[in-house]
Amino acid sequence: MSALHLDPPLPPDELRARLHAGALVVFSPRPSTAALCAWARELIAQAFAPLDPLTAQHDLPVERFVEVCAPLKPRFIHHPRTRELLKAMMADLRLDPDTTYLDVPRLRMVTSHGYLTAGVGYAHHPHRDTWYSAPMAQLNWWLPLWEMDATSAVAFHPRHWEVPVPNDSSEFDYYEWNAVGRAQAAKHVTSDTRKQPRPLEPPALQPELRPVVPPGGVVLFSGAQLHSTAPNTTGRTRYSIDVRTVDLRDLLEGRGAPNVDSRPRGTSLRDFRRMSDDAPVPDEVVARYDSGRPADGVLVFRPNAEERLGLA
Ligand SMILES: [Fe+2]
């Protein structure tokens, strides 16, 4: 069901149940979300100074643009202030700090007119996060950092909430991806050859829904939604942040979106940390969602020295 809720006055358990049933949720900007976005904008502006980050792509060769963005991402992701502001936002949106687990947030840039479409600026083809070993209970939070419109949005393809998309997620192994794919992101400037799960035949992309929200607004959706990056034709780079959450009670009770076509190996659950004390998801819970690992796989992505320098 593809209902769209705006600022739903629902208790958190009910809200998650609606999201697991296919609803999309939009929250209007509020002080806690605005503070997180202002912080991300500050870091981006510093990195590109004296250029305007929205138009810097027109002034820089693409390799230089990648050099600016690559260290910016880990700086935002691992900065203590980022996690502090994220937790404040989640608390403001009434998530329970004792049962909510967060993955590290991501900072994304989608350049205009295909200036940079690979590696750090990868524009996502239609996919479900659950093809990439996300649990069916995962919720995704997406926040644009500057004014945006439908040509620089996340596109949802609700027809495939219930209708499977033939795909090769059965070839995807999360631990192998951690070992190889992610560490190579910055090496991909003009094309991206990392093995990612993809549709094997074109999905029905229409009807398509592209929520347009102001900076500080939030789009919240199940990780099982089929979604893609709309081609940006605005002439300006689109910057956004996103973060994923799971609730322990959903994991314990097996609640989440229905699995219509996700068959990856492994689970990303070890990447999540509890809001209250940064504890990992208990091993016995992870074990229920794990489907084995290859001998040479890596359970959790730990950036190597090269990545800490911002090269990946
Ligand atoms: Fe995604």
- How far is ligand 1, taken at its centre, from the CA of residue 223, in Å? 7
- How far is ligand 1, taken at its centre, from the CA of residue 128, in Å? 6
Nearest to 297 by CA among 272, 266, 276: 266
Structural domains of the chain, ranges and CATH numbers in brackets: 4-308 (2.60.120)
- How far is ligand 1, taken at its centre, from the CA of residue 50, in Å? 32
pLDDT in tens, the chain (312 residues): 679 999 999 999 999 999 999 999 999 999 999 999 999 999 999 999 999 999 989 999 999 999 999 899 999 999 999 999 999 999 999 999 999 999 999 999 888 888 786 655 556 789 999 999 999 999 999 999 999 989 889 999 999 999 999 999 999 999 888 887 665 555 555 555 567 899 999 999 999 999 999 999 999 999 999 999 888 888 899 999 999 999 999 999 999 999 999 999 999 999 999 999 999 999 999 999 997 655 556 777 655 433 433 332
pTM of the model: 0.89
**Residue matched to tokens 């959706």:** 221
CB 43 within 8 A of CB 75: yes
DSSP sequence for 218-271: EEEEETTS-EEEPPP-SSS-EEEEEEEEEEHHHHHHT-S---SS---BS-SGGG
- How far is ligand 1, taken at its centre, from the CA of residue 257, in Å? 15
- How far is ligand 1, taken at its centre, from the CA of residue 231, in Å? 15
- How far is ligand 1, taken at its centre, from the CA of residue 226, in Å? 8
- How far is ligand 1, taken at its centre, from the CA of residue 157, in Å? 12
Residues with CB under 5 A from ligand 1 (ion): 129
- How far is ligand 1, taken at its centre, from the CA of residue 129, in Å? 5
